């Protein structure tokens, strides 16, 4: 997977990971991939809702230890 941008939101709680992702996506072009690394347990459902509401595609979510990885494709 060709990630175009990665942001680290470890230690931040809702809504900060979403806000940082929204800002990063605004700086990207259609089709590019954004990787978000978070430690907020609620981020799994938050990013699912964010993708539904914004039309950006949630390509993948995974848990690695106490970290949550979200891959979004810019609409």
Active-site residue set: 14
Dist. CA 23–CA 49, nearest whole Å: 17
Strands of 67-73's sheet in order across: 5-9, 33-38, 67-73, 57-64
């Amino acid at each position: 997977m060709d990630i175009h941008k990665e942001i680290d939101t470890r230690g931040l709680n809702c809504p900060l990971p979403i806000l940082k992702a929204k800002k990063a996506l605004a700086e990207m072009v259609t089709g590019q991939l954004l990787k978000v690394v978070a430690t907020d347990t609620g981020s799994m459902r938050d990013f699912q809702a964010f993708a539904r509401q914004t039309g950006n595609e949630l390509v993948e979510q995974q848990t690695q230890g106490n970290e949550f990885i979200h891959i979004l494709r810019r609409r």
